[in-house]
């Protein structure tokens, strides 16, 4: 166990977690919604510090981040647990497993043992080892991903600080529920974020994700204001968030913050508790791309489906092909150091 840094002590040995916007008030021996932050005798502990449930070396394009060190590798890691309960989660085997465990312990009246049970998940991978691997393999970045990184904040924070000292960049792949306190604390070491904007409908968030829309919108605005490079991803689910009206609201929201923010519209595939919902058609993804263009966005990308045309990066000024992509493979074309070689237009992103 590792004592958390983001929490407040309350009366009667209760605590309030301030890592994410669920802002859980936690009784002694209990955990918050994420099930990996536990109150022990009036102190909050992160139960998965240094315990990676999944880690890989990925292409940066897989995050997806298209305007962030293209063609490079990134060390990706995540733990168990999540502060959302999305019925379509593609990493449910690690993100939602703690909820089943907690429910069992509640039935057995053994919630005090959750620290022992949670500690069984994952591999020992302390911050120092992560940075060491990146240095040895010349990997320029670390992604905190697979589950929601704000809930394992202290683990990510310590890793990011060490990485930053070595010139290694750090990115969050996140649902956008970081508190302002967490984001501002992490900001000196956080270079980029891919933030899920799952819907523009609060009922969608409440019913399907067990969360709310407005906190996500606030995080996107704050991250942009703080100067963190952001890209937005919307997983388009047939019959749930694929109407023209909703897609237009998302595109307009992003455009009003910054027209150079990349928007990734990605295909849903049946998974977890939504196996009865069909996969997203290309027609809907192409429609979303058109809506994004009409909203004034300079960079809209189609993902989770092979579409080379809408995966490429083009200069917004002269329309020259700059980065050609096929799947997770990328090739640099008429582009160098963030500049279009044809017209000298500066392209927004992190390029070196």
Last residue of a domain, one of 147, 178, 196: 196
Question: 271 with 299, same domain?
Answer: yes
Q: Which domain holds residue 259?
A: 204-311
Looking at the fold, whether 277 and 167 belong to one and the same domain comes out as: no
Q: Are residues 303 and 231 in the same domain?
A: yes
d(CA 95, CA 80): 5
CB 149 within 8 A of CB 160: no
Q: Are residues 84 and 134 in the same domain?
A: yes
Q: Pick from 151, 191, 198, 197: which is nearest to 172 by CA?
A: 191
pTM (predicted TM-score): 0.96
d(CA 5, CA 335): 43
Residues 191 and 54 in one domain: yes
The CATH number assigned to the domain holding 165 equals 3.20.20.70
Mean pLDDT in residue range 310-324: 96
Q: Are residues 228 and 301 in the same domain?
A: yes
pLDDT digits (tens, 9 = 90+) for 140-193: 999 999 999 999 999 999 999 999 999 999 999 999 999 999 999 999 999 999
Give the whole-angstrom CA distance, residue 203 versus residue 195.
19
Tell whether 103 and 123 lie within a shared domain: yes
Per-residue pLDDT tens over the stretch 74-127: 999 999 999 999 999 999 999 999 988 888 888 888 877 888 888 889 999 999
Residue 32 has pLDDT above 90, yes or no: yes
Same domain, 63 and 176: yes
């Amino acid at each position: 166990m590792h004592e958390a840094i983001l929490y407040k002590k309350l009366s009667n040995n209760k605590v309030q977690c301030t890592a994410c916007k669920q802002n859980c008030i936690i009784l002694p021996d209990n955990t918050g919604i994420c099930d990996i932050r536990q109150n022990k005798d009036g102190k909050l502990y992160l139960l998965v510090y240094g315990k990676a449930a999944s880690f890989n070396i990925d292409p940066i394009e897989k995050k997806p981040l298209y305007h962030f060190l293209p063609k490079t590798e990134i060390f990706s890691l995540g733990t168990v647990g999540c502060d959302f309960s999305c019925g379509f989660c593609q990493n449910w085997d690690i993100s939602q497993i703690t909820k089943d465990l907690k429910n069992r312990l509640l039935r057995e009246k053994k919630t005090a043992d959750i620290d022992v049970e949670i500690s069984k998940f994952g591999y020992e991978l302390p911050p120092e080892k992560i940075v060491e691997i990146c240095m040895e393999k010349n990997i320029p970045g670390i992604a905190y991903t697979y589950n929601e990184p704000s809930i394992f904040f202290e683990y990510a924070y310590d890793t990011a600080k060490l990485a930053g000292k070595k010139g290694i960049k750090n990115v969050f792949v996140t649902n956008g529920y970081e508190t302002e306190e967490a984001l501002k604390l992490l900001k000196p070491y956080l270079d980029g974020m891919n933030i899920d904007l799952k819907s523009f409908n609060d009922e969608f968030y409440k019913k399907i994700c067990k969360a709310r829309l407005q906190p996500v919108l606030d995080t996107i605005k704050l991250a942009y204001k703080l100067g963190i490079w952001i890209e937005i991803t919307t997983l388009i689910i047939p019959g749930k968030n694929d109407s023209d009206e909703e897609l237009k609201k998302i595109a307009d929201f992003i455009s009003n913050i910054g027209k150079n923010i990349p928007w990734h519209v990605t295909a849903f595939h049946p998974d977890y508790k939504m196996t009865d919902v069909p996969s997203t058609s290309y027609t809907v993804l192409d429609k979303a791309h058109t809506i994004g263009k009409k909203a004034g966005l300079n960079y809209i990308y189609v993902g989770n489906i092979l579409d080379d045309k809408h995966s490429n990066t083009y200069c917004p000024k002269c329309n020259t092909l700059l980065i050609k992509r096929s799947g997770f493979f990328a090739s640099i074309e008429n582009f160098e150091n963030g500049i279009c070689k044809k017209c000298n237009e500066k392209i927004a992103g992190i390029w070196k």
